[in-house]
Structure 1
């Protein structure tokens, strides 16, 4: 479709933007009927009432909550005050403009310009995009033009259909990505195991509260200092508290994630360290990290997030001491810990994670590509 000529038209010139009105659940309960009331739920109406505010085919968008998502509604319906509606101005109409075409162009722009707390798939998100914000964006939409210089409705329909197919493929890719990320394979089926409480293997201990940003500036050095961040050092300082192999956990922020260390290092009081007991000296820490991290993450408290976004959770030393879940440790015939089996399982898991990461990165690259028609 490279030969198609496009003309930019301002969104503000095409539509009148208007917010809905307050419709409470109590009102819906008292006036049950046949006409849907749409709020911020993407996949279903809030309820049904006896009257309607609008009749026809319209674009509506979420002004709050999961802001910026657009739906096409056709029929008799009402909208709440956290949803906006786009009504054609007199010079434009359904006769020459496809709402499906506009939706696929407009929704990514809306979502990129929301304000507030972000999330994914409706989890832990509260954002906003009201009509004033949209007008200030001064959005221009490209419309195909026919040989007479008029807006070409049929070409819009063809493009919108291609968008729909591509978006369906992207949704399928997202599903596959989620399945891969959730994939968990146990390598313990062929092993005899012993169930151990966490506190039988480790004594949890918090880091030092003296490691402030000011302290780090005054005591810079070569030894890594770790805090709540799960992927990088907090600072480099001139002394260390621990040397050798250890597991540490994030107490605050992205709580429960574990780090494996084999170095000289220190930790702040936003991080804890697992000091091996006598029995804990006889196990492989990389193996323990695989088994223990999901247990820690299941027992965090606080505001959850997705991939580290907008999460603030905690897992204190006392919370760990109270955990009743047990860790399965492979054992030999004589009942002693099978260190070789632990190392084998850790190695298999590491290879699995590398494969998963490679596939997920490839899927993310595909999902992030802009749609070109």
Structure 2
């Protein structure tokens, strides 16, 4: 087994800022275009497509069988690309050097790197980072080509099973969702919620004030909790003359990265400036568990791209309309929400059971 650093095995570079004027989004991915790869974890990282003519204006273009990785946000996620692609500044490219091209299966390298890069990610102001300088120092233990190919074959077999499970989950969810219907009325989010966010704390400050109190950021893993710190220190932070620490039941959303993803909170936490907070104006009108289930993916469509990263800030959130269950008089009906919640709990059970099976087949 040969051991090399990524700097020895691959040439690496970072992407560039894409001029939004140049963006040309095709109606479907089969149209001829160069995919733009960002830090998004959805749609295989593709944020849109650029016309081949416009792509020529950019220096950094990935080639088939190059690997891309996320440098900011969900940092460290590595993807083998089968076609030319255009990386943004939130994305790095790794190309296997010619002298090793016969020794390393690029698909195996993708699988291997995804198993080790999380250990090399650093946090900065609530966002994970794995820049070129860190990726260069990631060690790679290279087995024989035969063993690499065997690992890839096993991985592909498992992925086929996972894809089948995902289809079963999707079909089951859609079938159940068809049964969930209710009388509704449109409300602006600002009519129903107090909308705010936290304040910035840095990783260095957290390390100087260690503790056990959770700090929530824009992360979507680990329920958004990035760090733990001293509660008495965090209690000194205020915003608009109010304590930043949240102690009441609420919903949070990711303001950037996977912008718009929701989390239900029923225990105290400290939100940083990448974390939005929704507090019901009338707690007896909204069942927050139901709201999270019903609207978890709804808000992502309102995120706007900025610096190749989704953004959904307070002003945008305030103006979004949601259809809420109402009674015959047009008043928000919390009892109906509670009945609907039992149906969503069935969806959650399906999700958990299939996710457990998927975990068994994941590398």
- Normalised to the residue count of structure 2, the TM-score between the two structures is 0.52
Deviation at 1:298, TM superposition (A): 1.8
Partner residue, 1:30: none
Partner residue, 1:225: 215
Deviation at 1:328, TM superposition (A): 2.3
User: Quick one: structure 1 residues 327 and 108, their matched pair in 2 at CA, closer, same or farther if it must change by over 3 Å?
Assistant: same
Query: What whole-Å deviation, never above 9, does each CA across 1:202-226 have from its counterpart, x for those lacking one?
Result: 23212123x4445545655664332
Partner residue, 2:294: 291
Contact 2:188–2:318 (Cα < 8 Å) also in 1: no
Corresponding pairs, count: 259
> How many Å separate the matches in 2 of 1:194 and 1:109?
51
Query: What whole-Å deviation, never above 9, does each CA across 1:123-153 have from its counterpart, x for those lacking one?
Result: xxxxx9xxxxxxx97753459xxxxxxxxxx
Contact 2:169–2:354 (Cα < 8 Å) also in 1: no
2:262 maps to 1:258: yes
Match of 1:176 among 164, 169, 180: 164
2:281 maps to 1:277: yes
Contact 2:66–2:81 (Cα < 8 Å) also in 1: no
Deviation at 1:70, TM superposition (A): 11
> How many Å separate the matches in 2 of 1:286 and 1:190?
17
Unaligned runs of 5+ in 2: 3-34, 36-63, 70-77, 83-94, 118-131, 133-139, 236-242
Indicate the structure whose relative CO is greater, using CA pairs within 8 Å and at least 6 residues apart.
Answer: 2
**Bigger radius of gyration:** 1
Unaligned runs of 5+ in 1: 1-7, 11-39, 41-60, 72-81, 87-101, 119-127, 129-135, 144-159, 305-310, 369-373
Match of 1:301 among 281, 299, 304: 304
Partner residue, 2:246: 242
Contact 2:255–2:311 (Cα < 8 Å) also in 1: yes
User: Quick one: structure 1 residues 293 and 111, their matched pair in 2 at CA, closer, same or farther if it must change by over 3 Å?
Assistant: closer
Query: What whole-Å deviation, never above 9, does each CA across 1:240-283 have from its counterpart, x for those lacking one?
Result: 633221112122333222222223333221212113234x6511
Match of 2:177 among 166, 171, 186: 186
SS of the residue corresponding to residue 297 of structure 2 reads helix
Query: What whole-Å deviation, never above 9, does each CA across 1:318-369 have from its counterpart, x for those lacking one?
Result: 221343xx3222222333322122122223323322321221231232243x
SS of the residue corresponding to residue 229 of structure 1 reads coil
> How many Å separate the matches in 1 of 2:247 and 2:357?
37
Contact 1:63–1:84 (Cα < 8 Å) also in 2: no
> How many Å separate the matches in 1 of 2:253 and 2:81?
41
SS of the residue corresponding to residue 204 of structure 1 reads strand
- Normalised to the residue count of structure 1, the TM-score between the two structures is 0.51
> How many Å separate the matches in 2 of 1:108 and 1:190?
44
> How many Å separate the matches in 2 of 1:302 and 1:70?
22
Partner residue, 1:5: none
Partner residue, 2:194: 203
2:360 maps to 1:354: no
